[in-house]
């Protein structure tokens, strides 16, 4: 038995999915809770006094009235865009050409990739994020850099080489064959090694020829336990561009399905401007839609109709989409998700927002049995939130009538100052 650690405070525990059931039946906050950790994993969650009495040898970290919750899971992000986050004033295609592609070209240098990977993991940990699904660049070294940095921290990450063989600068293009070969080599080296998970990663249909999409679809068929991540229907002009490039496709989603890139382990970022057939098909195969509300607002893409996708039983995750997203914080992302849902007349409860940012995103990544919950056997990936982290939040909390009002105020007003501590695999970061 390794050294045991006991965290005490207010603990957030899920018993179900609050998007599809009454949130009161799915989420509980224990005001005198405790989380017992042994090594990298949680061994028990319950009443703090009971756990302390049963395990007197455990080192205790007392967090008072802070909220102990699962670490945040960011289901769609671009770690190579860390240094160019919050770049001014462009629509998607112009933004890619002006900011993204020049920055991603720098990742040909392995030392630069390693520097940004470390910086990114530092910034996200400071915001309570413990797992993410990130695009890399076309460079194999960019994949190695993130996996290596995460492995040193005992951290679970999902990433993959971004594949593009057209409509991108010469120094950021591969080929159908090299995309297959490089992705296969990386996949075979990293996938399932400790906590590393590989995602086959075509950036999106406009930057891949049909031949490249087919090659990556074939690779996915050979390794169906991997994930596949891409972008879908982010902006209307992008959808029109896809229609011109794939005139025989029924719709945007069909450009992926035709080439073997539609399935339950597929992660489809944005998915704002979907046709009904696409929604029905995603629900049928249980393809994951990843909601990126800060990015959708920042680049002017629109507001995802989350209530409609929930009603259709499309599985959902939540994501910052940095650097298109304007914050590394999943708290800011939850606030943006609340505002986006309000556009569709659906005020999400704080319990639903926290579920999306933790267990919902973990399920989207097919990691829901390992992370995203405070439960015995799960990895001790934990975020501790100070519910009075700033004067503005504290004065609101002092007037509130319940802990859920306090949590909602922190979601709407909080940032990295609200993150009292982040734990990854049982170690405090």
Residue corresponding to tokens 């992705």: 183
- Please report the pLDDT score of residue 401 as a whole number: 84
The 10s digit of each residue's pLDDT in 169-190 is 999 999 999 999 999 999 999 9
CATH fourth-level superfamily of 72-364 = Metal-dependent hydrolases (3.20.20.140)
Query: What value does the mean pLDDT take over residues 59-77?
Result: 98
Tell me how far apart the alpha carbons of residues 113 and 108 are, in angstroms, rounded to a whole number.
8
Give yes or no for a contact between 281 and 312, defined as CB atoms under 8 angstroms apart: no
pLDDT band at residue 93 under the 50/70/90 scheme = confident
Tell me how far apart the alpha carbons of residues 197 and 146 are, in angstroms, rounded to a whole number.
11
Q: What angle do CA 251, 253, 259 make, to 5 degrees?
A: 110
Tell me how far apart the alpha carbons of residues 182 and 180 are, in angstroms, rounded to a whole number.
6
Each as own residue / partner, the long-range contacts of residues 338-341 (CB below 8 Å, 24 or more positions apart, any chain) are 338/411, 338/412, 339/293, 339/297, 339/303, 340/291, 340/293, 340/296, 340/297, 340/303, 340/304, 340/306, 341/303, 341/306, 341/307
Burial (CB count within 10 angstroms: exposed 0-12, middle 13-18, buried 19+), residue 228:
buried
* pLDDT of 84 higher than 60: yes
List the one residue out of 289, 276, 204 whose CA is nearest residue 239.
204
Max Cα–Cα distance, the chain, nearest Å:
68
Domains 4-71+372-428 and 72-364 belong to one CATH topology: no
- Please report the pLDDT score of residue 91 as a whole number: 74
The 10s digit of each residue's pLDDT in 340-366 is 999 999 999 999 999 999 999 999 999
Give yes or no for a contact between 400 and 409, defined as CB atoms under 8 angstroms apart: yes
3-state secondary structure of 43: strand
CATH number of 4-71+372-428: 2.30.40.10
3-state secondary structure of 223: coil
pTM above 0.95, yes or no: yes
The 10s digit of each residue's pLDDT in 379-411 is 999 999 999 999 999 999 999 889 999 999 999
Tell me how far apart the alpha carbons of residues 7 and 38 are, in angstroms, rounded to a whole number.
11
Least confident span in 17-21, 72-76, 81-85: 81-85
* pLDDT of 291 higher than 80: yes
Task: Share the mean pLDDT of the chain.
Answer: 96
Query: What value does the mean pLDDT take over residues 263-286?
Result: 98
- Please report the pLDDT score of residue 295 as a whole number: 94
Q: H-helix or E-strand containing 70?
A: strand 59-70
Tell me how far apart the alpha carbons of residues 288 and 268 are, in angstroms, rounded to a whole number.
6
- Please report the pLDDT score of residue 1 as a whole number: 56
Show the beta-strand stretches assigned E in 192-341. Answer: 196-202, 227-232, 266-270, 288-291, 316-318
- Paired strand residues for 154: none
3-state secondary structure of 399: coil
Question: What count of other Cβ atoms lies within 10 Å of the Cβ of residue 181?
Answer: 14
- Please report the pLDDT score of residue 90 as a whole number: 75
Query: What value does the mean pLDDT take over residues 212-230?
Result: 98
- Please report the pLDDT score of residue 88 as a whole number: 86
Query: What value does the mean pLDDT take over residues 202-231?
Result: 98
Domain parsing of the chain, residue ranges: 4-71+372-428, 72-364
């Amino acid at each position: 038995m390794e050294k045991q650690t006991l965290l005490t405070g207010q603990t957030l525990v899920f018993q179900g999915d609050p998007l599809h059931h009454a949130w009161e039946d799915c989420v509980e906050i224990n005001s005198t809770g405790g989380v017992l950790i042994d090594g990298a994993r949680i061994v028990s969650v319950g009443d703090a006094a009971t756990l302390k009495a049963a395990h007197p040898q455990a080192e205790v970290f007392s967090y008072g009235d802070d909220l102990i919750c699962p670490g945040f899971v960011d289901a769609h992000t671009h770690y190579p865009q860390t240094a160019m986050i919050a770049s001014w004033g462009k629509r998607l295609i112009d933004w890619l050409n002006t900011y993204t592609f020049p920055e991603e070209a720098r990742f040909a240098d392995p030392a630069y990739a390693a520097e940004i990977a470390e910086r990114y993991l530092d910034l996200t940990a400071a915001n309570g994020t413990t797992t993410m699904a990130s695009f890399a660049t076309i460079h194999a070294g960019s994949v190695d850099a993130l996996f290596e940095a995460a492995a040193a921290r005992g951290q679970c990450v999902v990433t993959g080489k971004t594949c593009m063989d057209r409509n991108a600068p010469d120094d950021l293009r591969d080929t159908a064959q090299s995309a297959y070969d490089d992705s296969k080599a990386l996949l075979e080296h990293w996938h399932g090694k400790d906590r590393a998970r590989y995602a086959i990663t075509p950036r999106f249909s406009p930057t891949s020829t049909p031949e490249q999409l087919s090659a990556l679809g074939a690779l996915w068929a050979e390794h169906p336990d991997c994930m596949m991540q891409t972008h879908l229907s982010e902006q209307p002009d992008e959808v029109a561009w896809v229609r011109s490039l794939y005139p025989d496709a029924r719709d945007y989603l069909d450009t992926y399905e035709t080439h073997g890139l539609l399935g339950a382990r597929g992660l489809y970022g944005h998915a704002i401007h979907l046709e009904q057939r696409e929604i029905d098909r995603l629900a049928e195969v249980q393809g994951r839609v990843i909601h990126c509300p800060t990015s959708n607002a920042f680049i002017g893409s629109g507001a995802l109709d989350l209530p409609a996708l929930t009603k259709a039983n499309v599985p959902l995750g939540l994501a910052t989409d940095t650097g298109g997203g304007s914050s590394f914080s999943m708290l800011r992302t939850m606030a943006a998700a609340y505002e986006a849902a309000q556009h569709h007349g659906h005020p999400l409860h704080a319990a639903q927002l926290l579920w999306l940012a933790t267990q919902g995103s973990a399920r989207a990544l097919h990691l829901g049995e390992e992370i995203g919950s405070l439960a015995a056997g799960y990895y001790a990936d934990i975020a501790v939130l100070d519910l009075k982290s700033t004067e503005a939040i504290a004065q609101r909390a002092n007037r509130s009538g319940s802990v859920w009002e306090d949590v909602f105020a922190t979601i709407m007003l909080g940032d990295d100052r609200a993150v009292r501590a982040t734990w990854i695999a049982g170690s405090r970061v």
